[in-house]
Structure 1
């Protein structure tokens, strides 16, 4: 840290004896690297993370290959399925040709059809080319294994103090890099087959479309350690103090290498996923509640009405409508079952590096949303859920995926269905920067309101015809930290927008709005399922909101350090 400059010292001669303290010849100088004489010797590779911040042997700044069984999960399973399909369809014929004593009762007519088909199998049998055919099949298998090996051999990753890099490809090389200071989260996915083999895949969520960096596959224990290292490095803990007695240099590298080999061999032998410490969830969703919430959802009820109308119309005049509806019904039932299965084993819990959300029965997905990565929160309730007091919570966040990706929704729903107490617990996690004094107003007025003495600015009575059912509930409230937008009667919604991550705000006014002296406001955030617009608010109140949000967003962004959460907690 530099010393302040004294203006009065300008122009005075410099005293050489005071320019630097006298050198102590007995002081030990740090060892120098002969290749760079001006630099002290550093046992770490260039760009390697501080060893006191990382736990995985793969987080040493060097290039590492992924799990040896990665080709099996990325391409080998497809090959196994193809071989199984061929064998299943030619089972009887292959048995008759190569193991005739196991198939003595095959009909003569079926055998004659095989022999008269003129396919390659008949040609091989007629010309006695068994060895040639076997050699060709063996060559194809060897070629496929060679391709799988090369794809694994040329697929490597590196974790430095600034980036996560992945390079892949044999003929066409690809290298992707995710800056750690732009990491929006790290998702850990364990498909069913990968779980049986003790493997998982990591997805480092970037800050743009198709910006994610995928690490497929790692052992489960190593994947957890790598994820913790990435989040720890992204949190701002670059200059943490070294632990007392931590080994260094070549000795630590040899130890890290032996640990990596030991973990790889253990993961291949044991197979089952290693036990991972999971924090206790603050919300538990009973299976019955989950199933009933899907049954009485508006989508399900609407589909039942549509099916009833089509069946009635088919009976009366046009039967072909019923057949045309079958694919849509099958697709919806598949989506409905997938939604329930995906929500099983749901848990949400706080961790030092953010909110940990886990869901999925067959394929388990665990994501950690670091602080400062939530741009908008929506608490909503349909009229069908109102007798049960159930709510759902969705967020806008950067997922790093394409907008056309059908899996985006599973990364934006942080509470599939929960009670009001569940809502409050989840809001405390995803909006940790909100002062404690604001929570009673957010829950009592924003979620369940309006109430007597409400502090929201609602639609004026003169504009009731623009929102005839919800004008008493349609309003906003601005605090120094968040903007609250409340709307809807049949479908209640409360949108919470942290000012520190608000991009901009706009006002709109059409001809009918001008006659009623009202306007519509829309706050701009990252793309997502949360709609941040509010219509039919008083014109003067909208202008005041525009000015206050503009000032408040700049102020909140200038003091916000939640994206470097370790610096805040230090």
Structure 2
């Protein structure tokens, strides 16, 4: 690709004839002109509100004394007690000087916000997204496009009314995200498409952004935007662009019921009963101790429902598009190959309704203490088995129909007749007394499946191409029972890929099989630049596959395990080699179930 050299010696900009958005031409651009209003103006409004709240009585006494006749006596008492700066201004008749001082402070703050906006610029090259900011202390951040883990578009309620959005490019490290706040919604969508298109290995010239008719003036444009977005809060258009249809629709009744049928709700009911009983017995401190917690839980409960009201998930050529939120809308596109672990879970209270939830481990570019991490790891808040199948097709497109059938039929509802999972041996039942029959694993060509839990049914899907390492851990009681514990190491997240009480010999065979399978999967993985093959071949990227096809039921099969080698240490760990290592045997075999030799 021909590039235009950068005068500063930085990365080259894409050629102008290949640029789709005016903001993706490799030049430095500023953010939306109303950005200071959202980033600093709201802070000023809060400060002014606090000041007026504290001076409410005094302002009534000065300007509207007939509305509050008793306030004058309180003001006189304040003045007799020594007064405050406002009393000093009133006593010395310094109204004009005080007004000038307040006006000067406002002018300085506005100048600071405006200067900050002028110095806050960004550019998009064919390799990076760069942001420069700061007045006295300059900061420059760069996000390589080949390391992009996702692109999020957030629209808080005030920003939506003004037709603006915040774009966040998710990086591969801790606190590595690059934020563009704020852009107009149309520009944010175009820039996001360009970033994903460059990250995929395709060129920007393959598509051209349509140029629509503009209103006659900025005032008219703002009026139309506010009117449209007020309607959109209820009707739900994410942006004035075509949005793919969601493959999953969550009814409001199911969403509310899923929150009601939760262990946190059960705990809340116990707390309410304890408060009622305690108050009737004269223990009034329970009322003051638990009521704030109940109010906080209620706020969290309502916020969780509001967040999922506009949930949608759909395939796009650049990845999975997930949208959620009623007042603050967040739209995320998760590129292929960025999911490191998938967990399908069913709490026991959801079992009569047949509902499940899906969470994933992925790089979010945020710290572990960030409470918004959960927003980016729950890809299905609540859904049926059909919904689970559809979401699995999106987040794990490399899985075959047979593998998806194994996840649904045996992983979610197993064990059943013809179960192909390797389960905990009967002699170790006391380690997992309730779930030892269900506790097991299955290694396929591209995934490692871990199944566990009875009260909370869980099936974990681990793509071998994303696996970082695999370890075996054995304590003294495990050694007596000849079992061990296995843990797969992936990026941090809500999914815990851990399995206890695996037969020792079978676990050692699994250790070797995972080593070979992980290297082979990493060598064949092409999701780093998911459209590079199509571009090199000169063919367009294929459209998103249908996610509504039925999943066939696979036949049961088993393989013969090799003779394991017992290491001297009671804890072993495998580090997956980097892609490009020497070729290894083709396909690992699944260790067969072994006959137990008694208690």
- Same fold, judged at TM 0.5 (above): yes
Question: Do the aligned residues in 1 keep the contact of 2:151 with 2:192 (CA within 8 Å)?
Answer: yes
Question: Do the aligned residues in 1 keep the contact of 2:4 with 2:14 (CA within 8 Å)?
Answer: no
Question: Do the aligned residues in 2 keep the contact of 1:219 with 1:267 (CA within 8 Å)?
Answer: no
Is the alpha carbon distance of 1:108 and 1:470 closer, same or farther for their aligned partners in structure 2, counting shifts above 3 Å?
A: closer
Residue-by-residue CA offset, 1:276-317 (whole Å, 9 max, x unaligned): 221100000011111111011112112322443454356547
Determine if the alignment matches structure 1 residue 421 to structure 2 residue 397: no
Q: Which residue of 1 aligns with 2:415?
A: 450
Determine if the alignment matches structure 1 residue 152 to structure 2 residue 122: no
Q: Which residue of 2 aligns with 1:73?
A: 38
Once residues 306 and 187 of structure 2 are traced to their aligned partners in structure 1, the CA distance between those partners, rounded to angstroms, is 27
After TM superposition, the structure 1 = structure 2 runs for residues 543-554 of structure 1, keeping only pairs within 5 Å, are: 543-554=508-519
Give the Å deviation of 1:131: 1.4
Question: Do the aligned residues in 2 keep the contact of 1:57 with 1:259 (CA within 8 Å)?
Answer: no
Is the alpha carbon distance of 1:232 and 1:569 closer, same or farther for their aligned partners in structure 2, counting shifts above 3 Å?
A: same
Question: Do the aligned residues in 2 keep the contact of 1:184 with 1:205 (CA within 8 Å)?
Answer: yes
Give the Å deviation of 1:563: 2.3
Which range moved further: 118-127 or 285-294? 118-127
Once residues 363 and 107 of structure 1 are traced to their aligned partners in structure 2, the CA distance between those partners, rounded to angstroms, is 41
Give the Å deviation of 1:366: 0.5
Once residues 518 and 371 of structure 2 are traced to their aligned partners in structure 1, the CA distance between those partners, rounded to angstroms, is 32
Is the alpha carbon distance of 1:468 and 1:53 closer, same or farther for their aligned partners in structure 2, counting shifts above 3 Å?
A: farther
Residue-by-residue CA offset, 1:235-281 (whole Å, 9 max, x unaligned): 1125x7x569x9xxxxx9xx99x999999887656443552221100
Give the Å deviation of 1:106: 5.6
Once residues 541 and 266 of structure 1 are traced to their aligned partners in structure 2, the CA distance between those partners, rounded to angstroms, is 71
Is the alpha carbon distance of 1:286 and 1:481 closer, same or farther for their aligned partners in structure 2, counting shifts above 3 Å?
A: same
Give the Å deviation of 1:350: 0.4
Once residues 279 and 198 of structure 2 are traced to their aligned partners in structure 1, the CA distance between those partners, rounded to angstroms, is 62
After TM superposition, the structure 1 = structure 2 runs for residues 96-245 of structure 1, keeping only pairs within 5 Å, are: 96-98=61-63, 103=67, 105=69, 108-110=72-74, 112-113=76-77, 115-116=79-80, 118-238=83-203
After TM superposition, the structure 1 = structure 2 runs for residues 328-347 of structure 1, keeping only pairs within 5 Å, are: 328-347=293-312
Is the alpha carbon distance of 1:313 and 1:378 closer, same or farther for their aligned partners in structure 2, counting shifts above 3 Å?
A: same
Once residues 99 and 150 of structure 1 are traced to their aligned partners in structure 2, the CA distance between those partners, rounded to angstroms, is 39
Q: Which residue of 1 aligns with 2:320?
A: 355
The CA RMSD measured in Å over matched residues stands at 2.7
Question: Do the aligned residues in 1 keep the contact of 2:61 with 2:72 (CA within 8 Å)?
Answer: no
Determine if the alignment matches structure 1 residue 400 to structure 2 residue 365: yes
Question: Do the aligned residues in 2 keep the contact of 1:50 with 1:161 (CA within 8 Å)?
Answer: no
2:447 pairs with one of 469, 475, 482: 482
Q: Which residue of 2 aligns with 1:524?
A: 489
Once residues 421 and 103 of structure 1 are traced to their aligned partners in structure 2, the CA distance between those partners, rounded to angstroms, is 63
Determine if the alignment matches structure 1 residue 49 to structure 2 residue 17: no
Q: Which residue of 2 aligns with 1:463?
A: 428
Question: Do the aligned residues in 1 keep the contact of 2:392 with 2:404 (CA within 8 Å)?
Answer: no
Determine if the alignment matches structure 1 residue 373 to structure 2 residue 331: no
Question: Do the aligned residues in 2 keep the contact of 1:519 with 1:536 (CA within 8 Å)?
Answer: yes
Once residues 265 and 278 of structure 1 are traced to their aligned partners in structure 2, the CA distance between those partners, rounded to angstroms, is 27
Once residues 259 and 401 of structure 1 are traced to their aligned partners in structure 2, the CA distance between those partners, rounded to angstroms, is 39
Question: Do the aligned residues in 2 keep the contact of 1:219 with 1:264 (CA within 8 Å)?
Answer: no
Determine if the alignment matches structure 1 residue 430 to structure 2 residue 392: no
Give the Å deviation of 1:353: 0.5
Give the Å deviation of 1:436: 2.5
**3-state SS of the aligned residue for 1:140?**
helix
Once residues 89 and 315 of structure 2 are traced to their aligned partners in structure 1, the CA distance between those partners, rounded to angstroms, is 64
Residue-by-residue CA offset, 1:527-550 (whole Å, 9 max, x unaligned): 000010101111111111110001
Is the alpha carbon distance of 1:324 and 1:164 closer, same or farther for their aligned partners in structure 2, counting shifts above 3 Å?
A: same
Which range moved further: 272-281 or 374-383? 272-281
Give the Å deviation of 1:177: 0.8
1:295 pairs with one of 247, 254, 260: 260
TM-score by length of structure 1 reads 0.85
Question: Do the aligned residues in 2 keep the contact of 1:371 with 1:562 (CA within 8 Å)?
Answer: yes
Is the alpha carbon distance of 1:266 and 1:151 closer, same or farther for their aligned partners in structure 2, counting shifts above 3 Å?
A: farther
Once residues 81 and 471 of structure 1 are traced to their aligned partners in structure 2, the CA distance between those partners, rounded to angstroms, is 57
Once residues 18 and 426 of structure 2 are traced to their aligned partners in structure 1, the CA distance between those partners, rounded to angstroms, is 59
Residue-by-residue CA offset, 1:163-192 (whole Å, 9 max, x unaligned): 111111111111111111110000000000
Question: Do the aligned residues in 1 keep the contact of 2:313 with 2:321 (CA within 8 Å)?
Answer: yes
Structure 1 unaligned regions, length at least 5: 1-39, 247-251
Determine if the alignment matches structure 1 residue 510 to structure 2 residue 475: yes
Q: Which residue of 2 aligns with 1:285?
A: 250
Aligned length: 519
Is the alpha carbon distance of 1:43 and 1:107 closer, same or farther for their aligned partners in structure 2, counting shifts above 3 Å?
A: closer
Is the alpha carbon distance of 1:82 and 1:41 closer, same or farther for their aligned partners in structure 2, counting shifts above 3 Å?
A: closer
Give the Å deviation of 1:146: 0.5
Determine if the alignment matches structure 1 residue 320 to structure 2 residue 285: yes
Once residues 219 and 402 of structure 2 are traced to their aligned partners in structure 1, the CA distance between those partners, rounded to angstroms, is 53
